[in-house]
């Protein structure tokens, strides 16, 4: 059995759904953030597979952009979560309740 | 070289941002405000410099990835003007940041560069990078007051929901690329019908719109808006309301009319439903608000709905009205936030009740805020009235073909009527409620302390007031510009 485009896409869709599920279900900010990265990587996998399928490298270039942007996002995001943890001693979403209706 | 000239304004903004960071190393702390004013002055020069571009026809750069047309120029001027005013506001606000004033100015400039690139985007990779440049800068800007829990919390909420929206956006781009084999808007516009009608392609496009809907705060991707608007520092909120929303809007127009003009008709029902829900959600949730920044957050959600009415009308008049509304929104919202920064010197309360008697303490501030709220409510002869009027008129003109637009019009008018109530509530507080005694120890003090308005803020305020009145009284001049911008959106440009 040869591994084709469909296989990659199914794996990528599974990864995306896993990530989305993690964001919606988990309540720890760090775990949510990891799940968000999973969603980005699902898109990366799909882009690489499509680029190979179309013999068009712009998909792979896009992956490099996404990896770079994700790195920047993680740098800022972790700094924010650490700053919040230092102030509130918590990394749970339920405790983020000082802004309410 | 030609390509570099076309992105000259962006390069100038980026270099200014880096220069601000470098200058901070050598300048003494007392000179930091001067750096901010200098950066605002440079933005003014770049703004004037954009008028040197004469475009008989749209020009492409970097292999068709960027396009410079009248629409791009209109939005670049819009963003430069907004960022200049926000910088003046940020300098005034810098005492309350506690640390890193220059970094704050630099981040505003980097976000501005992202918005300007977004205005020119003609490729999904540019769309993504520009949007993320804006978003990541705003993560930091929103949480800049690290000593305030609310500011941090706003930043974290924006971070999680923003990253979620980017996840959807990127997956959508992957699907669109996978089915069409191209990231370029111009080439995508020539894709065969078989590709366009495949459900997976439509799903991809829908996911892209989720990402953009997050930026403009349209229901159901609006959840972050009210919390972030309330918690973030005032200059950040102002820039978020004006710049980030306009960046999302210009990308929505580029994708919808530049990349997939063949699918616009199929997108119309979705746009109409989203517009109606957004208007209703914004106005209904704004009614009980006690915090002025939160109130403006919900009002900005409602404004996103009105903008989508113009997009859903699918005619040139509607798009022109969208641009006009945004121009009026710039002056209106910035006027409101300039007043908020001055009238609430202690950061943790932006309660509307604290505005009582503002017209005695600071007549200019009270007048400016009243004008801004009246304009947001849509009362003639201000910019906000004419914007809403043009949007509804365009929708009415298009409603003959799609009866659903009549319903949308009805919702929009109901929204305007409801919004009158809460905007005028704020004005009543400012003018007709007595100022509470300033401190319990000296209740006999006859007059409350006057609020000082520094000269740069005074200039910025007068500029905003003049803008609101000018747009409202003489809409013709700006409408010429918006019509020109809308004409250039037609995807008739060949790819080099």
Q: How far is B121 from chain A (nearest CA, A)?
A: 15
Structure-model confidence comparison of residues A94 and B319, the more confident one: B319
Residue B445 has pLDDT above 50, yes or no: no
Question: What would the pLDDT profile of B406-430 be if each residue is shown by its tens digit?
Answer: 999 999 999 999 999 889 888 988 8
User: Measured between CB atoms, which of B153, B160, B166 is closest to A98?
Assistant: B153
Per-residue pLDDT, averaged over B271-283, amounts to 94
Per-residue pLDDT, averaged over B4-15, amounts to 93
Residue B173 has pLDDT above 60, yes or no: yes
User: Measured between CB atoms, which of B129, B174, B227 is closest to A43?
Assistant: B174
Q: Pick from B52, B19, B39: which is nearest to B91 by CA? A: B39
Question: What would the pLDDT profile of B477-493 be if each residue is shown by its tens digit?
Answer: 888 888 888 888 864 43
End-to-end CA distance of chain B: 16
Residue B490's pLDDT is 61
Using CB atoms within 10 Å of the CB of residue B51, give its burial: 0 to 12 exposed, 13 to 18 middle, 19+ buried: exposed
User: Measured between CB atoms, which of B143, B163, B181 is closest to A56?
Assistant: B181
Residue B438 has pLDDT above 70, yes or no: no
Q: Flag if A46 and B139 touch (Cβ within 8 Å).
A: no
Residue B444's pLDDT is 45
Q: How far is B194 from chain A (nearest CA, A)?
A: 16
Q: What is the pTM of this model?
A: 0.93
Residue B496 has pLDDT above 70, yes or no: no
Q: How big, in percent rounded to 5, are the helix, strand and coil portions of chain A? A: 80, 0, 20
Residue A10's pLDDT is 94
Residue B492's pLDDT is 41
Per-residue pLDDT, averaged over B233-262, amounts to 93
Residue B356 has pLDDT above 80, yes or no: yes
Residue B390's pLDDT is 92
Residue B335's pLDDT is 94
Chain B nearest-CA residue for A89: B149
Sign of the C-alpha dihedral computed for residues B196, B200, B202 and B208 taken in this order: negative
Question: What would the pLDDT profile of A38-97 be if each residue is shown by its tens digit?
Answer: 999 999 999 999 999 999 999 999 999 999 999 999 999 999 999 988 888 877 877 777
Residue B493's pLDDT is 35
Q: Flag if B160 and A32 touch (Cβ within 8 Å).
A: yes
Residue B17 has pLDDT above 50, yes or no: yes
Lowest mean pLDDT among A43-57, B118-132, B321-335, B397-411: B397-411
Per-residue pLDDT, averaged over B186-190, amounts to 90
- Residue pair B342/B365 in contact (Cβ under 8 Å)? The answer is yes
Q: Flag if A65 and B128 touch (Cβ within 8 Å).
A: yes
Q: Which residues of A touch B (CB under 8 A)?
A: 9, 12, 16, 19-20, 23, 29, 32-33, 36, 39-40, 42-43, 46-47, 49-51, 53-54, 56, 58-59, 61-62, 65-66, 69, 72-73, 76-77, 80-81, 83-84, 87-88, 96, 98-99, 101
User: Rounded distance, CA B465 to CA B471, Å?
Assistant: 10
| Share above pLDDT 70 across residues of chain B, in percent, rounded to a whole number | 95
Confidence of residue A99 (pLDDT cuts 50, 70, 90): low
Confidence of residue B315 (pLDDT cuts 50, 70, 90): confident
Q: What DSSP string describes B263-329? A: GHHHHHHHHHHHHHHHHHHHHHHHTT--BHHHHHHHHHHHHHHHHHHHHHT-SHHHHHHHHHHHHHH
| Share above pLDDT 90 across residues of chain B, in percent, rounded to a whole number | 61
Chain B contacts of A43, Cβ < 8 Å?
A: 167, 170-171, 173-174
Q: Which residues of B touch A (CB under 8 A)?
A: 124-125, 128-129, 132, 136, 139-140, 143, 146, 149-150, 152-157, 159-160, 163-164, 166-168, 170-171, 173-175, 177-178, 181-183, 226-227, 230-231, 285, 288
Residue B339's pLDDT is 92
Question: In sequence order, what are the residues at sequence separation of 6 or more whose Cβ sits closer than 8 angstroms to the Cβ of residue B230?
Answer: A99, B150, B154, B291, B293, B294, B297, B350
Share the mean pLDDT of chain B: 89
Confidence of residue B468 (pLDDT cuts 50, 70, 90): very high
């Amino acid at each position: 059995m040869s591994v084709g485009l469909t296989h990659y896409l199914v794996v990528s869709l599974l990864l995306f759904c896993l990530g989305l599920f993690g964001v919606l279900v988990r309540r720890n900010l760090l775990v949510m953030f990891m799940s968000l990265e999973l969603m980005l990587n699902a898109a990366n996998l799909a882009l690489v597979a499509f680029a190979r399928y179309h013999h068009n490298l712009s998909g792979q270039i896009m992956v490099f952009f996404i990896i770079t942007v994700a790195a920047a996002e993680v740098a800022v995001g972790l700094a924010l979560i650490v700053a919040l943890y230092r102030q509130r001693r918590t990394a749970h979403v339920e405790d983020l309740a000082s802004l309410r209706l | 070289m030609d390509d570099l000239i076309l992105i000259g304004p962006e390069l100038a903004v980026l270099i200014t941002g880096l220069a601000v960071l470098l200058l901070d190393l050598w300048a003494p702390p007392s000179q930091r405000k001067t750096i901010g004013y200098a950066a605002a002055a440079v933005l003014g020069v770049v703004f004037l410099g954009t008028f040197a571009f004469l475009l008989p026809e749209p020009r492409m750069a970097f292999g068709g990835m960027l396009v410079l047309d009248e629409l791009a120029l209109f939005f670049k001027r819009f963003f430069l003007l907004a960022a200049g005013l926000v910088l003046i506001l940020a300098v005034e606000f810098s005492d309350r940041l506690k640390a890193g004033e220059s970094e704050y100015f630099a981040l505003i400039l980097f976000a501005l560069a992202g918005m300007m690139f977004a205005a020119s985007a003609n490729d999904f990779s540019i769309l993504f990078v520009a949007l993320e440049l804006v978003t990541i800068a705003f993560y930091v800007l929103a949480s800049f007051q690290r000593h305030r829990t609310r500011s941090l919390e706003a930043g974290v909420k924006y971070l999680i929901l923003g990253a979620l929206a980017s996840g959807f956006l990127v997956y959508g781009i992957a699907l669109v690329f996978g089915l069409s084999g191209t990231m370029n808007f111009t080439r995508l516009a020539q894709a065969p019908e078989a590709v366009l009608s495949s459900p997976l392609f439509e799903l991809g496009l829908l996911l892209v719109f989720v990402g953009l809907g997050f930026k403009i705060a349209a229901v159901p991707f609006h959840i972050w808006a009210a919390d972030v608007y309330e918690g973030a520092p005032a200059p950040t909120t102002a820039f978020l309301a004006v710049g980030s929303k306009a960046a999302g809007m210009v990308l929505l127009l580029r994708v919808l009319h530049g990349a997939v003009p063949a699918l616009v008709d199929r997108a119309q029902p979705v746009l109409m439903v989203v517009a109606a829900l957004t208007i209703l959600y914004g106005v209904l949730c704004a009614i009980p608000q006690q915090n002025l920044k939160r109130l403006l957050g919900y009002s900005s959600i409602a404004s996103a709905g009105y903008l989508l009415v113009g997009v859903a009308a699918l005619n040139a008049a509607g798009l022109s009205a969208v641009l006009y509304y945004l121009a009026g929104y710039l002056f209106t919202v910035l006027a409101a936030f300039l007043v908020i920064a001055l009238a609430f010197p202690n950061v943790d309360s932006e309660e509307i009740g604290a505005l009582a008697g503002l017209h005695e303490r600071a007549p200019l501030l009270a007048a400016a805020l009243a004008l801004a709220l009246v304009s947001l409510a849509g009362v003639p002869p201000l910019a906000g009235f004419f914007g809403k009027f043009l949007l509804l008129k365009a929708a009415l003109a298009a409603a003959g073909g799609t009866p659903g637009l009549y319903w949308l019009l009805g919702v929009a008018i109901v929204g305007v009527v409801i919004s009158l109530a809460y905007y005028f509530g704020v004005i009543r507080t400012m003018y007709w409620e007595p100022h509470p005694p300033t401190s319990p120890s000296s209740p006999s003090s006859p007059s409350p302390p006057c609020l000082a308005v520094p000269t740069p803020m005074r200039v910025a305020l007068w500029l905003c007031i003049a803008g609101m009145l000018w747009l409202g009284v003489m809409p013709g001049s700006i409408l010429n510009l918006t019509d020109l911008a809308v004409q250039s959106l037609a995807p008739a440009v060949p790819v080099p």
